[in-house]
Chains A and B, each alone.
Chain A
Amino acid sequence: MIAAEELAKIFAGGVRAVDGVSLSIAEGETLGLVGESGCGKSTLARLLLRLIEPDAGAIRVRGSDFMALSGAALREARRDMGIVFQDPFGSLNPRMSVARLLAEPLAVHGIGGRAERKARVAELLDVVGLARQHADRYPHEFSGGQRQRIAIARALAAGPKFLVCDEPTSALDVSIQAQVLNLLSDLQTRFGLSMLFVSHNLGAVRQMAGRVAVMYLGRVVEEASRDDLFARPLHPYTSALLSAVPEPGVTTTRIVLKGDVPNPADPPSGCRFRTRCPRAAARCAAETPMLRDAGGGHRVACHFPGAL
Protein backbone atom coordinates (compact mmCIF):
# COMPACT_ATOMS: atom_id res chain seq x y z
CA MET A 1 0.00 0.00 0.00
CA ILE A 2 2.62 2.48 1.11
CA ALA A 3 6.38 2.23 1.17
CA ALA A 4 8.92 4.76 2.38
CA GLU A 5 12.63 4.70 1.73
CA GLU A 6 15.32 6.52 3.64
CA LEU A 7 12.94 9.21 4.86
CA ALA A 8 14.57 12.05 6.74
CA LYS A 9 13.41 15.23 8.43
CA ILE A 10 15.69 17.72 10.08
CA PHE A 11 14.00 20.48 12.07
CA ALA A 12 15.36 23.90 12.97
CA GLY A 13 18.36 23.63 15.26
CA GLY A 14 19.57 20.53 13.44
CA VAL A 15 17.19 18.15 15.25
CA ARG A 16 17.26 14.92 13.27
CA ALA A 17 13.70 13.90 14.10
CA VAL A 18 13.60 11.17 11.47
CA ASP A 19 16.91 10.04 10.06
CA GLY A 20 16.84 7.46 7.31
CA VAL A 21 13.74 5.37 7.94
CA SER A 22 12.46 2.78 5.48
CA LEU A 23 9.24 0.90 6.04
CA SER A 24 6.29 -0.49 4.15
CA ILE A 25 2.71 -1.37 4.97
CA ALA A 26 0.82 -3.95 2.90
CA GLU A 27 -2.85 -3.72 1.91
CA GLY A 28 -5.01 -4.54 4.90
CA GLU A 29 -2.03 -4.64 7.26
CA THR A 30 -1.55 -2.77 10.52
CA LEU A 31 1.97 -1.69 11.33
CA GLY A 32 2.55 -0.63 14.91
CA LEU A 33 5.13 2.08 15.53
CA VAL A 34 6.42 2.35 19.08
CA GLY A 35 9.00 4.44 20.82
CA GLU A 36 9.32 7.04 23.54
CA SER A 37 8.86 10.82 23.44
CA GLY A 38 11.06 12.47 20.86
CA CYS A 39 11.95 9.28 18.97
CA GLY A 40 10.34 10.68 15.82
CA LYS A 41 7.36 8.37 15.53
CA SER A 42 4.75 11.14 15.15
CA THR A 43 6.97 13.02 12.71
CA LEU A 44 7.35 9.84 10.66
CA ALA A 45 3.57 9.37 10.62
CA ARG A 46 3.12 12.90 9.29
CA LEU A 47 5.89 12.50 6.73
CA LEU A 48 4.14 9.48 5.23
CA LEU A 49 1.08 11.65 4.49
CA ARG A 50 3.28 14.63 3.57
CA LEU A 51 1.62 16.72 6.25
CA ILE A 52 5.25 17.57 6.88
CA GLU A 53 7.51 17.55 3.82
CA PRO A 54 10.48 15.19 4.09
CA ASP A 55 13.98 16.60 3.54
CA ALA A 56 15.07 13.39 1.85
CA GLY A 57 13.74 10.01 0.85
CA ALA A 58 11.05 8.49 -1.30
CA ILE A 59 7.43 7.54 -0.66
CA ARG A 60 5.48 5.27 -2.98
CA VAL A 61 1.74 4.79 -2.65
CA ARG A 62 0.47 1.71 -4.48
CA GLY A 63 3.63 1.76 -6.51
CA SER A 64 3.44 5.35 -7.73
CA ASP A 65 5.68 8.19 -6.63
CA PHE A 66 3.84 10.10 -3.92
CA MET A 67 6.62 12.69 -3.61
CA ALA A 68 6.17 13.82 -7.23
CA LEU A 69 2.55 14.88 -6.68
CA SER A 70 1.41 18.43 -6.03
CA GLY A 71 -1.75 20.53 -6.14
CA ALA A 72 -4.86 18.73 -7.35
CA ALA A 73 -3.05 15.42 -7.91
CA LEU A 74 -1.79 15.41 -4.30
CA ARG A 75 -5.27 16.21 -3.00
CA GLU A 76 -6.70 13.41 -5.10
CA ALA A 77 -4.14 10.95 -3.70
CA ARG A 78 -4.92 12.09 -0.15
CA ARG A 79 -8.50 10.96 -0.62
CA ASP A 80 -7.12 7.50 0.08
CA MET A 81 -5.56 8.60 3.37
CA GLY A 82 -6.85 9.58 6.77
CA ILE A 83 -5.34 10.46 10.14
CA VAL A 84 -6.61 10.33 13.70
CA PHE A 85 -4.71 12.43 16.23
CA GLN A 86 -4.15 11.96 19.94
CA ASP A 87 -6.15 14.84 21.23
CA PRO A 88 -9.83 14.75 20.29
CA PHE A 89 -10.22 18.17 21.96
CA GLY A 90 -7.69 19.91 19.75
CA SER A 91 -8.34 18.13 16.47
CA LEU A 92 -12.01 19.06 16.06
CA ASN A 93 -13.05 22.63 15.27
CA PRO A 94 -15.24 23.67 18.23
CA ARG A 95 -17.37 25.93 16.04
CA MET A 96 -18.42 23.19 13.65
CA SER A 97 -21.31 20.82 14.25
CA VAL A 98 -20.63 17.11 13.90
CA ALA A 99 -22.50 17.13 10.58
CA ARG A 100 -20.25 19.85 9.21
CA LEU A 101 -17.10 18.22 10.61
CA LEU A 102 -17.95 14.99 8.82
CA ALA A 103 -19.15 16.61 5.58
CA GLU A 104 -16.12 18.87 5.20
CA PRO A 105 -13.74 16.17 3.88
CA LEU A 106 -16.46 15.18 1.38
CA ALA A 107 -16.73 18.77 0.17
CA VAL A 108 -12.95 19.11 -0.08
CA HIS A 109 -12.80 16.05 -2.30
CA GLY A 110 -15.96 17.01 -4.22
CA ILE A 111 -17.72 13.82 -3.19
CA GLY A 112 -21.52 13.73 -3.67
CA GLY A 113 -24.19 16.40 -3.61
CA ARG A 114 -25.96 17.81 -0.57
CA ALA A 115 -28.32 14.90 -0.05
CA GLU A 116 -25.64 12.30 -0.60
CA ARG A 117 -23.34 14.00 1.89
CA LYS A 118 -26.11 14.09 4.46
CA ALA A 119 -26.70 10.37 3.99
CA ARG A 120 -22.96 9.71 4.26
CA VAL A 121 -22.79 11.65 7.56
CA ALA A 122 -25.55 9.44 8.97
CA GLU A 123 -23.75 6.35 7.73
CA LEU A 124 -20.45 7.48 9.29
CA LEU A 125 -22.13 8.06 12.64
CA ASP A 126 -23.49 4.49 12.51
CA VAL A 127 -20.07 3.14 11.61
CA VAL A 128 -18.38 4.65 14.67
CA GLY A 129 -21.22 3.84 17.04
CA LEU A 130 -22.73 7.30 17.51
CA ALA A 131 -26.41 8.16 17.21
CA ARG A 132 -27.73 10.02 14.15
CA GLN A 133 -29.16 12.79 16.30
CA HIS A 134 -25.58 13.59 17.36
CA ALA A 135 -25.08 15.21 13.94
CA ASP A 136 -26.41 18.59 15.11
CA ARG A 137 -24.29 18.78 18.25
CA TYR A 138 -20.92 20.43 18.78
CA PRO A 139 -17.65 18.82 19.98
CA HIS A 140 -17.88 20.26 23.51
CA GLU A 141 -21.11 18.33 24.07
CA PHE A 142 -19.28 15.02 23.86
CA SER A 143 -17.01 13.01 26.17
CA GLY A 144 -13.40 12.33 25.19
CA GLY A 145 -14.21 8.87 23.89
CA GLN A 146 -17.12 10.13 21.80
CA ARG A 147 -14.99 12.93 20.42
CA GLN A 148 -12.40 10.40 19.34
CA ARG A 149 -15.20 8.51 17.56
CA ILE A 150 -16.08 11.72 15.71
CA ALA A 151 -12.42 12.18 14.75
CA ILE A 152 -12.34 8.59 13.45
CA ALA A 153 -15.54 9.14 11.46
CA ARG A 154 -14.03 12.28 9.95
CA ALA A 155 -10.83 10.44 9.01
CA LEU A 156 -12.92 7.76 7.29
CA ALA A 157 -15.31 10.18 5.56
CA ALA A 158 -13.74 10.12 2.11
CA GLY A 159 -13.31 6.34 2.21
CA PRO A 160 -9.54 6.10 2.68
CA LYS A 161 -7.52 2.90 2.21
CA PHE A 162 -4.71 4.00 4.51
CA LEU A 163 -5.34 5.27 8.02
CA VAL A 164 -2.74 6.75 10.35
CA CYS A 165 -3.63 6.64 14.05
CA ASP A 166 -1.26 8.78 16.11
CA GLU A 167 -1.67 7.89 19.81
CA PRO A 168 -5.44 7.61 19.30
CA THR A 169 -6.19 6.42 22.85
CA SER A 170 -3.47 8.11 24.89
CA ALA A 171 -5.79 10.82 26.19
CA LEU A 172 -8.52 8.35 27.13
CA ASP A 173 -9.30 6.39 30.29
CA VAL A 174 -8.64 2.65 30.28
CA SER A 175 -12.30 1.68 30.02
CA ILE A 176 -12.81 4.05 27.07
CA GLN A 177 -9.50 3.10 25.46
CA ALA A 178 -10.76 -0.47 25.12
CA GLN A 179 -13.91 0.73 23.33
CA VAL A 180 -11.90 2.81 20.85
CA LEU A 181 -9.32 0.06 20.19
CA ASN A 182 -12.12 -2.41 19.49
CA LEU A 183 -13.76 0.08 17.15
CA LEU A 184 -10.51 0.65 15.22
CA SER A 185 -9.96 -3.12 14.90
CA ASP A 186 -13.49 -3.61 13.59
CA LEU A 187 -13.13 -0.79 11.07
CA GLN A 188 -9.77 -2.08 9.93
CA THR A 189 -11.29 -5.50 9.17
CA ARG A 190 -14.53 -4.14 7.77
CA PHE A 191 -12.93 -1.74 5.28
CA GLY A 192 -9.70 -3.68 4.73
CA LEU A 193 -7.69 -0.64 5.84
CA SER A 194 -3.95 -0.44 5.88
CA MET A 195 -3.05 1.18 9.14
CA LEU A 196 -0.10 2.80 10.83
CA PHE A 197 -0.78 2.64 14.57
CA VAL A 198 1.57 4.94 16.46
CA SER A 199 1.69 4.65 20.22
CA HIS A 200 3.91 4.64 23.25
CA ASN A 201 1.49 2.14 24.80
CA LEU A 202 2.97 -1.26 24.06
CA GLY A 203 -0.13 -3.17 25.16
CA ALA A 204 -2.29 -1.18 22.74
CA VAL A 205 0.18 -1.75 19.91
CA ARG A 206 0.24 -5.48 20.59
CA GLN A 207 -3.55 -5.48 20.54
CA MET A 208 -3.74 -3.70 17.18
CA ALA A 209 -0.74 -4.45 14.99
CA GLY A 210 0.34 -7.53 13.08
CA ARG A 211 3.83 -6.15 12.65
CA VAL A 212 5.70 -3.71 14.87
CA ALA A 213 8.57 -1.27 14.32
CA VAL A 214 10.49 0.21 17.25
CA MET A 215 12.04 3.67 16.93
CA TYR A 216 14.82 5.23 18.94
CA LEU A 217 16.17 8.72 18.32
CA GLY A 218 14.98 9.04 14.73
CA ARG A 219 15.77 5.51 13.53
CA VAL A 220 13.98 2.19 13.37
CA VAL A 221 16.04 -0.16 15.54
CA GLU A 222 13.90 -3.28 15.23
CA GLU A 223 10.99 -4.51 13.16
CA ALA A 224 9.24 -7.86 13.40
CA SER A 225 5.93 -9.63 13.50
CA ARG A 226 4.01 -8.88 16.66
CA ASP A 227 4.57 -12.31 18.18
CA ASP A 228 8.28 -12.31 17.41
CA LEU A 229 8.84 -8.83 18.73
CA PHE A 230 7.05 -9.31 22.03
CA ALA A 231 8.32 -12.84 22.64
CA ARG A 232 11.86 -12.56 21.25
CA PRO A 233 13.09 -8.97 21.11
CA LEU A 234 16.59 -8.81 19.62
CA HIS A 235 17.52 -5.17 20.16
CA PRO A 236 18.64 -4.28 23.69
CA TYR A 237 16.44 -1.17 23.58
CA THR A 238 13.34 -3.19 22.72
CA SER A 239 14.15 -5.59 25.57
CA ALA A 240 14.48 -2.70 28.01
CA LEU A 241 11.31 -1.02 26.75
CA LEU A 242 9.25 -4.21 27.05
CA SER A 243 10.60 -4.92 30.52
CA ALA A 244 9.84 -1.38 31.73
CA VAL A 245 6.07 -1.62 31.30
CA PRO A 246 4.48 -2.66 34.59
CA GLU A 247 1.54 -5.01 34.19
CA PRO A 248 -1.04 -5.45 36.92
CA GLY A 249 -0.46 -8.60 38.91
CA VAL A 250 2.66 -9.57 36.94
CA THR A 251 6.13 -9.43 38.45
CA THR A 252 8.86 -8.88 35.89
CA THR A 253 12.57 -8.29 36.06
CA ARG A 254 13.31 -4.83 34.77
CA ILE A 255 16.22 -3.84 32.64
CA VAL A 256 16.93 -0.35 33.91
CA LEU A 257 18.60 1.94 31.39
CA LYS A 258 21.18 4.45 32.53
CA GLY A 259 20.92 8.13 31.68
CA ASP A 260 18.54 9.95 29.37
CA VAL A 261 17.80 9.97 25.68
CA PRO A 262 20.60 12.04 24.08
CA ASN A 263 19.95 15.36 22.33
CA PRO A 264 18.54 14.58 18.86
CA ALA A 265 20.40 17.60 17.47
CA ASP A 266 23.68 15.98 18.46
CA PRO A 267 23.16 12.21 18.45
CA PRO A 268 25.96 9.82 19.45
CA SER A 269 28.19 8.43 16.71
CA GLY A 270 27.56 4.92 15.47
CA CYS A 271 24.65 3.29 17.25
CA ARG A 272 22.47 5.97 18.83
CA PHE A 273 21.49 3.72 21.69
CA ARG A 274 25.06 2.91 22.71
CA THR A 275 25.26 5.58 25.44
CA ARG A 276 22.56 3.73 27.39
CA CYS A 277 23.15 0.19 26.18
CA PRO A 278 24.30 -2.41 28.68
CA ARG A 279 26.05 -4.25 25.83
CA ALA A 280 27.81 -1.35 24.12
CA ALA A 281 31.34 -2.02 22.80
CA ALA A 282 33.93 -0.03 20.83
CA ARG A 283 32.41 -1.11 17.52
CA CYS A 284 29.08 0.51 18.46
CA ALA A 285 30.69 3.98 18.55
CA ALA A 286 32.64 3.47 15.34
CA GLU A 287 30.11 1.84 13.07
CA THR A 288 26.40 2.58 12.58
CA PRO A 289 24.46 -0.69 12.70
CA MET A 290 22.18 -1.21 9.70
CA LEU A 291 18.75 -2.78 9.88
CA ARG A 292 19.43 -6.42 8.93
CA ASP A 293 17.23 -9.47 8.59
CA ALA A 294 17.93 -11.81 11.46
CA GLY A 295 15.69 -14.47 9.92
CA GLY A 296 12.01 -14.75 9.15
CA GLY A 297 11.60 -11.03 8.41
CA HIS A 298 12.75 -10.06 11.91
CA ARG A 299 14.97 -7.04 11.28
CA VAL A 300 17.28 -5.53 13.84
CA ALA A 301 19.87 -2.73 13.81
CA CYS A 302 22.43 -3.93 16.36
CA HIS A 303 25.98 -5.27 16.25
CA PHE A 304 25.24 -7.61 19.12
CA PRO A 305 21.59 -8.64 18.82
CA GLY A 306 19.97 -11.15 21.11
CA ALA A 307 18.01 -11.43 24.33
CA LEU A 308 19.32 -9.30 27.19
Chain B
Amino acid sequence: MVEPTPHGVPPVNAPEDAPETSAQRLRKRLRRFARRPMAVFGAIVVVTFVLIALGAPWIAPYNPIQTDWSAIRKAPSSAHLFGTDELGRDTYSRVIWGTRISMQAGVLSVLIAIAIGIPLGLVSGYYRGVLDQLIMRITDAWLAFPFLILAIGLITILGPSLINATLAIGLGVTPTFIRLTRGLALSTREEDYVQGARAIGAGDGRIMFRYVLPNIFSPILVQATVSIPTAIIAEAILSFLGLGVQPPQPSWGTMLNSAQQFLQQAPWMAWWPGAAIFVLALAFNLAGDGLRDALDPKDY
Protein backbone atom coordinates (compact mmCIF):
# COMPACT_ATOMS: atom_id res chain seq x y z
CA MET B 1 0.00 0.00 0.00
CA VAL B 2 1.58 3.25 -1.08
CA GLU B 3 -1.71 5.08 -1.25
CA PRO B 4 -1.71 8.49 0.40
CA THR B 5 -3.03 8.54 3.91
CA PRO B 6 -5.93 10.62 5.16
CA HIS B 7 -3.35 12.87 6.78
CA GLY B 8 -2.60 14.15 3.33
CA VAL B 9 0.92 12.75 2.99
CA PRO B 10 1.74 12.42 -0.69
CA PRO B 11 3.26 9.05 -1.49
CA VAL B 12 6.11 10.68 -3.43
CA ASN B 13 7.47 12.07 -0.18
CA ALA B 14 7.20 9.04 2.02
CA PRO B 15 7.40 5.82 0.04
CA GLU B 16 9.14 3.84 2.79
CA ASP B 17 6.92 4.96 5.64
CA ALA B 18 3.61 4.45 3.90
CA PRO B 19 3.20 0.64 4.21
CA GLU B 20 4.09 0.74 7.88
CA THR B 21 1.78 3.65 8.58
CA SER B 22 -1.19 2.01 6.95
CA ALA B 23 -0.60 -1.26 8.84
CA GLN B 24 -0.33 0.65 12.07
CA ARG B 25 -3.40 2.60 11.18
CA LEU B 26 -5.34 -0.57 10.51
CA ARG B 27 -4.24 -1.99 13.85
CA LYS B 28 -5.23 1.22 15.58
CA ARG B 29 -8.62 1.16 13.96
CA LEU B 30 -9.14 -2.48 14.84
CA ARG B 31 -8.30 -1.67 18.44
CA ARG B 32 -10.76 1.18 18.45
CA PHE B 33 -13.41 -1.11 17.01
CA ALA B 34 -12.58 -3.84 19.54
CA ARG B 35 -13.05 -1.41 22.40
CA ARG B 36 -16.75 -1.22 21.61
CA PRO B 37 -18.35 -4.41 22.91
CA MET B 38 -21.66 -3.85 21.10
CA ALA B 39 -19.90 -3.33 17.77
CA VAL B 40 -17.87 -6.50 18.24
CA PHE B 41 -21.03 -8.34 19.21
CA GLY B 42 -22.72 -7.05 16.04
CA ALA B 43 -19.80 -8.16 13.90
CA ILE B 44 -19.82 -11.63 15.48
CA VAL B 45 -23.55 -12.00 14.82
CA VAL B 46 -23.10 -10.92 11.20
CA VAL B 47 -20.29 -13.46 10.74
CA THR B 48 -22.48 -16.14 12.35
CA PHE B 49 -25.26 -15.40 9.88
CA VAL B 50 -22.79 -15.58 6.99
CA LEU B 51 -21.67 -19.00 8.24
CA ILE B 52 -25.30 -20.11 8.59
CA ALA B 53 -25.99 -18.96 5.02
CA LEU B 54 -22.97 -20.85 3.70
CA GLY B 55 -23.63 -23.97 5.77
CA ALA B 56 -27.41 -24.08 5.28
CA PRO B 57 -27.47 -27.54 3.62
CA TRP B 58 -25.58 -29.03 6.58
CA ILE B 59 -27.24 -27.09 9.41
CA ALA B 60 -30.89 -27.37 8.39
CA PRO B 61 -32.37 -30.64 9.69
CA TYR B 62 -35.09 -30.81 7.03
CA ASN B 63 -35.51 -29.97 3.37
CA PRO B 64 -36.94 -26.42 3.45
CA ILE B 65 -39.46 -27.01 0.67
CA GLN B 66 -40.45 -30.56 1.62
CA THR B 67 -44.11 -30.58 2.63
CA ASP B 68 -45.39 -33.00 5.25
CA TRP B 69 -49.14 -33.45 5.49
CA SER B 70 -48.87 -35.21 8.84
CA ALA B 71 -47.20 -32.21 10.49
CA ILE B 72 -49.28 -29.20 9.49
CA ARG B 73 -48.96 -26.09 11.71
CA LYS B 74 -47.39 -28.00 14.58
CA ALA B 75 -46.22 -25.91 17.55
CA PRO B 76 -42.47 -25.84 18.33
CA SER B 77 -41.26 -29.20 19.66
CA SER B 78 -38.05 -31.20 19.80
CA ALA B 79 -38.71 -32.55 16.31
CA HIS B 80 -39.45 -29.08 14.92
CA LEU B 81 -37.63 -26.45 17.00
CA PHE B 82 -39.54 -23.51 15.47
CA GLY B 83 -42.70 -25.48 14.65
CA THR B 84 -44.05 -26.13 11.17
CA ASP B 85 -46.01 -24.06 8.65
CA GLU B 86 -49.33 -24.52 6.86
CA LEU B 87 -47.81 -27.09 4.51
CA GLY B 88 -45.98 -28.98 7.24
CA ARG B 89 -42.58 -27.55 6.31
CA ASP B 90 -40.02 -27.17 9.11
CA THR B 91 -39.85 -23.47 10.07
CA TYR B 92 -36.35 -23.80 11.55
CA SER B 93 -34.95 -25.19 8.30
CA ARG B 94 -36.74 -22.51 6.32
CA VAL B 95 -35.35 -19.73 8.52
CA ILE B 96 -31.85 -21.15 8.00
CA TRP B 97 -32.23 -21.33 4.24
CA GLY B 98 -33.84 -17.90 4.27
CA THR B 99 -30.55 -16.49 5.60
CA ARG B 100 -29.02 -17.19 2.19
CA ILE B 101 -31.64 -15.20 0.33
CA SER B 102 -31.53 -12.28 2.74
CA MET B 103 -27.74 -12.09 2.79
CA GLN B 104 -27.55 -12.42 -0.95
CA ALA B 105 -30.17 -9.74 -1.60
CA GLY B 106 -28.74 -7.42 1.05
CA VAL B 107 -25.13 -7.61 -0.04
CA LEU B 108 -25.69 -7.81 -3.80
CA SER B 109 -28.05 -4.86 -3.91
CA VAL B 110 -25.61 -2.68 -1.99
CA LEU B 111 -22.82 -3.79 -4.35
CA ILE B 112 -25.01 -2.74 -7.29
CA ALA B 113 -25.58 0.63 -5.63
CA ILE B 114 -21.83 1.03 -5.06
CA ALA B 115 -20.94 0.01 -8.59
CA ILE B 116 -23.26 2.66 -10.05
CA GLY B 117 -23.08 5.26 -7.31
CA ILE B 118 -19.34 5.61 -6.75
CA PRO B 119 -18.31 6.29 -10.39
CA LEU B 120 -21.19 8.75 -10.86
CA GLY B 121 -20.43 10.50 -7.57
CA LEU B 122 -16.68 10.65 -8.29
CA VAL B 123 -17.19 12.10 -11.76
CA SER B 124 -19.76 14.55 -10.44
CA GLY B 125 -17.64 15.79 -7.55
CA TYR B 126 -14.36 15.71 -9.43
CA TYR B 127 -15.32 17.50 -12.63
CA ARG B 128 -18.09 19.68 -11.17
CA GLY B 129 -19.64 22.05 -13.70
CA VAL B 130 -22.33 21.02 -16.16
CA LEU B 131 -21.77 17.28 -15.73
CA ASP B 132 -22.13 17.65 -11.98
CA GLN B 133 -25.34 19.66 -12.37
CA LEU B 134 -26.76 17.06 -14.72
CA ILE B 135 -25.91 14.11 -12.44
CA MET B 136 -27.23 15.96 -9.40
CA ARG B 137 -30.55 16.84 -10.99
CA ILE B 138 -31.00 13.22 -12.04
CA THR B 139 -30.16 12.16 -8.49
CA ASP B 140 -32.73 14.62 -7.11
CA ALA B 141 -35.42 13.14 -9.30
CA TRP B 142 -34.23 9.64 -8.40
CA LEU B 143 -34.48 10.43 -4.68
CA ALA B 144 -37.99 11.80 -5.06
CA PHE B 145 -39.28 8.30 -5.70
CA PRO B 146 -39.74 6.69 -2.31
CA PHE B 147 -37.49 3.66 -2.05
CA LEU B 148 -40.22 1.05 -1.90
CA ILE B 149 -42.40 2.75 -4.51
CA LEU B 150 -39.46 2.93 -6.93
CA ALA B 151 -38.82 -0.76 -6.31
CA ILE B 152 -42.50 -1.60 -6.83
CA GLY B 153 -42.55 0.43 -10.04
CA LEU B 154 -39.47 -1.34 -11.37
CA ILE B 155 -40.84 -4.74 -10.48
CA THR B 156 -44.06 -3.87 -12.30
CA ILE B 157 -41.94 -3.49 -15.42
CA LEU B 158 -39.41 -6.27 -14.80
CA GLY B 159 -41.69 -8.85 -13.17
CA PRO B 160 -41.37 -10.30 -9.66
CA SER B 161 -38.30 -12.40 -8.83
CA LEU B 162 -35.37 -12.35 -6.40
CA ILE B 163 -32.97 -10.99 -9.02
CA ASN B 164 -35.33 -8.19 -10.03
CA ALA B 165 -36.02 -7.35 -6.40
CA THR B 166 -32.28 -7.18 -5.72
CA LEU B 167 -31.80 -4.93 -8.75
CA ALA B 168 -34.71 -2.72 -7.75
CA ILE B 169 -33.41 -2.37 -4.18
CA GLY B 170 -29.90 -1.67 -5.49
CA LEU B 171 -31.22 1.11 -7.73
CA GLY B 172 -33.23 2.43 -4.79
CA VAL B 173 -30.09 2.74 -2.61
CA THR B 174 -27.88 4.14 -5.40
CA PRO B 175 -28.65 7.89 -5.00
CA THR B 176 -27.38 7.78 -1.41
CA PHE B 177 -24.00 6.60 -2.68
CA ILE B 178 -23.92 9.14 -5.52
CA ARG B 179 -24.50 12.00 -3.10
CA LEU B 180 -22.09 10.70 -0.47
CA THR B 181 -19.27 10.06 -2.96
CA ARG B 182 -19.79 13.40 -4.67
CA GLY B 183 -19.64 15.32 -1.40
CA LEU B 184 -16.47 13.52 -0.35
CA ALA B 185 -14.86 13.91 -3.77
CA LEU B 186 -15.65 17.63 -3.78
CA SER B 187 -13.64 18.21 -0.63
CA THR B 188 -10.88 15.73 -1.43
CA ARG B 189 -10.07 17.13 -4.87
CA GLU B 190 -8.74 20.29 -3.23
CA GLU B 191 -6.34 18.39 -0.95
CA ASP B 192 -2.62 18.92 -1.39
CA TYR B 193 -1.85 15.34 -2.33
CA VAL B 194 -4.41 15.44 -5.14
CA GLN B 195 -2.97 18.71 -6.37
CA GLY B 196 0.46 17.10 -6.06
CA ALA B 197 -0.57 14.12 -8.14
CA ARG B 198 -1.96 16.49 -10.74
CA ALA B 199 1.29 18.43 -10.74
CA ILE B 200 3.34 15.34 -11.53
CA GLY B 201 1.04 14.71 -14.47
CA ALA B 202 -1.40 12.05 -13.29
CA GLY B 203 -4.50 11.75 -15.49
CA ASP B 204 -8.03 12.37 -14.25
CA GLY B 205 -8.93 8.69 -14.11
CA ARG B 206 -5.77 7.86 -12.19
CA ILE B 207 -6.33 10.69 -9.74
CA MET B 208 -9.93 9.70 -9.14
CA PHE B 209 -9.34 6.02 -8.56
CA ARG B 210 -5.81 6.00 -7.05
CA TYR B 211 -5.84 9.16 -4.98
CA VAL B 212 -9.38 10.30 -4.30
CA LEU B 213 -11.18 6.97 -3.91
CA PRO B 214 -8.86 5.33 -1.33
CA ASN B 215 -9.15 8.41 0.83
CA ILE B 216 -12.90 8.53 0.85
CA PHE B 217 -13.26 4.80 1.25
CA SER B 218 -13.98 4.77 5.01
CA PRO B 219 -17.26 6.71 4.99
CA ILE B 220 -18.40 4.71 1.96
CA LEU B 221 -17.67 1.47 3.80
CA VAL B 222 -19.68 2.72 6.80
CA GLN B 223 -22.57 3.71 4.53
CA ALA B 224 -22.46 0.28 2.88
CA THR B 225 -22.60 -1.44 6.27
CA VAL B 226 -25.67 0.49 7.35
CA SER B 227 -27.32 0.17 3.90
CA ILE B 228 -27.22 -3.62 4.01
CA PRO B 229 -29.84 -3.90 6.81
CA THR B 230 -32.08 -1.48 4.92
CA ALA B 231 -31.71 -3.66 1.83
CA ILE B 232 -32.37 -6.84 3.80
CA ILE B 233 -35.58 -5.37 5.23
CA ALA B 234 -36.57 -4.11 1.78
CA GLU B 235 -36.14 -7.58 0.30
CA ALA B 236 -38.28 -9.02 3.08
CA ILE B 237 -40.96 -6.39 2.42
CA LEU B 238 -40.99 -7.06 -1.34
CA SER B 239 -41.15 -10.81 -0.76
CA PHE B 240 -43.85 -10.27 1.85
CA LEU B 241 -45.87 -8.36 -0.73
CA GLY B 242 -45.28 -11.17 -3.24
CA LEU B 243 -43.02 -9.00 -5.41
CA GLY B 244 -39.71 -10.65 -4.55
CA VAL B 245 -38.84 -14.26 -3.93
CA GLN B 246 -41.59 -16.54 -5.19
CA PRO B 247 -42.93 -19.51 -3.20
CA PRO B 248 -41.96 -22.18 -2.35
CA GLN B 249 -38.48 -20.60 -1.96
CA PRO B 250 -37.84 -20.04 1.76
CA SER B 251 -37.47 -16.29 2.24
CA TRP B 252 -38.16 -14.56 5.55
CA GLY B 253 -40.56 -12.19 3.80
CA THR B 254 -42.64 -14.89 2.11
CA MET B 255 -42.68 -16.84 5.38
CA LEU B 256 -44.16 -13.84 7.17
CA ASN B 257 -46.69 -13.47 4.39
CA SER B 258 -48.09 -16.94 4.98
CA ALA B 259 -47.75 -16.51 8.75
CA GLN B 260 -50.06 -13.51 8.60
CA GLN B 261 -52.93 -15.74 7.50
CA PHE B 262 -52.57 -18.03 10.51
CA LEU B 263 -51.92 -15.61 13.37
CA GLN B 264 -54.70 -17.17 15.46
CA GLN B 265 -53.78 -20.80 14.87
CA ALA B 266 -50.00 -20.72 14.46
CA PRO B 267 -48.39 -17.56 15.88
CA TRP B 268 -44.93 -19.21 15.93
CA MET B 269 -44.88 -19.01 12.16
CA ALA B 270 -44.59 -15.23 12.57
CA TRP B 271 -42.04 -15.12 15.39
CA TRP B 272 -38.91 -16.63 13.92
CA PRO B 273 -38.55 -15.18 10.43
CA GLY B 274 -39.22 -11.69 11.81
CA ALA B 275 -36.83 -12.20 14.70
CA ALA B 276 -34.16 -13.33 12.22
CA ILE B 277 -34.57 -10.14 10.15
CA PHE B 278 -34.50 -8.01 13.29
CA VAL B 279 -31.39 -9.64 14.77
CA LEU B 280 -29.46 -9.55 11.50
CA ALA B 281 -30.41 -5.93 10.77
CA LEU B 282 -29.55 -4.89 14.32
CA ALA B 283 -26.19 -6.68 14.11
CA PHE B 284 -25.30 -4.84 10.88
CA ASN B 285 -26.34 -1.52 12.41
CA LEU B 286 -24.30 -2.14 15.57
CA ALA B 287 -21.25 -3.10 13.54
CA GLY B 288 -21.79 -0.08 11.27
CA ASP B 289 -21.99 2.25 14.25
CA GLY B 290 -18.75 0.85 15.65
CA LEU B 291 -17.10 1.12 12.25
CA ARG B 292 -18.18 4.74 11.97
CA ASP B 293 -16.52 5.58 15.27
CA ALA B 294 -13.41 3.52 14.58
CA LEU B 295 -12.84 5.04 11.14
CA ASP B 296 -13.73 8.62 12.02
CA PRO B 297 -10.62 10.63 11.08
CA LYS B 298 -11.75 13.48 13.33
CA ASP B 299 -10.88 11.39 16.40
CA TYR B 300 -7.25 10.76 15.54
Q: Do A and B assemble together?
A: no
Residues of B at the A interface (CB closer than 8 Å) are none
Task: List the interface of chain A (C-beta within 8 A of B).
Answer: none
